[in-house]
Every structure is written in C-alpha cells, then in structure tokens.
C-alpha cells in the first residue's frame, strides 16, 4: 500500500524558505500573496488494512516525520484523503 505524508510549517510559524520562494515568484511577475514550503514523503507500506496503515503512518509522523512544535502533517492513503 502506498501512503503520502505532507509535512507543513504550522500556521503562524515563520517560514523563511516560503518567504524567499514567494518573493522570487513576485519578482517573476506572478501575483503571489504567500508561499509556504513543506515536505512530501512517499511511503511504500507492507500490506495491511487501510485503517492499520493509517494508524501506523500517524505513529511515524508523531515519532519522526514531523516535529509537533512547528509542523503539522496530513496523510494521504493511496488516494483516500
């Protein structure tokens, strides 16, 4: 089973990388009000039920993939949002 994890800087957390990207896009003439930069982690999981897989990926996020002080995460399980 495939899972995709999206890790984002939490709302309200200063994101200098996003700011730099946003200002570059504006310099290129795009009307961008804000850009935030996060991280995508694609996982190939040993087979299991979708519920088991989701519970396991949540554990992965809490223990390693995201730092809850500054990041939020979202799990996408083979297209099941």
List residues bridging with 4 in a β-sheet.
42, 76
The answer to whether 69 and 7 have CB atoms below 8 angstroms apart is: no
Among 5, 61, 65, 75, binds another protein (CB under 8 A): 65
Is residue 42 classed as helix, strand or coil in its secondary structure? strand
Binding track over 10-49 against another protein, x by CB under 8 A? ---xx-xx--x-----------------------------
Count of positions on this chain that bind another protein (CB under 8 A): 10
In angstroms, the CA 5 to CA 41 distance is: 5
Q: Which residues bind another protein (CB under 8 A)?
A: 13-14, 16-17, 20, 64-65, 67, 69-70
């Amino acid at each position: 089973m495939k899972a995709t994890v999206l890790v984002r800087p939490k709302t309200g957390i200063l994101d200098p990388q996003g700011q730099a990207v946003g200002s570059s896009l504006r310099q290129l003439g795009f009307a961008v009000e804000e850009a935030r930069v996060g991280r995508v982690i694609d996982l190939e999981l040993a087979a299991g039920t979708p519920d088991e897989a989701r519970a396991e990926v949540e554990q992965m996020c809490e223990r390693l993939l995201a730092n809850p002080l500054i990041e939020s995460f979202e799990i996408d399980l083979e297209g099941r949002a």
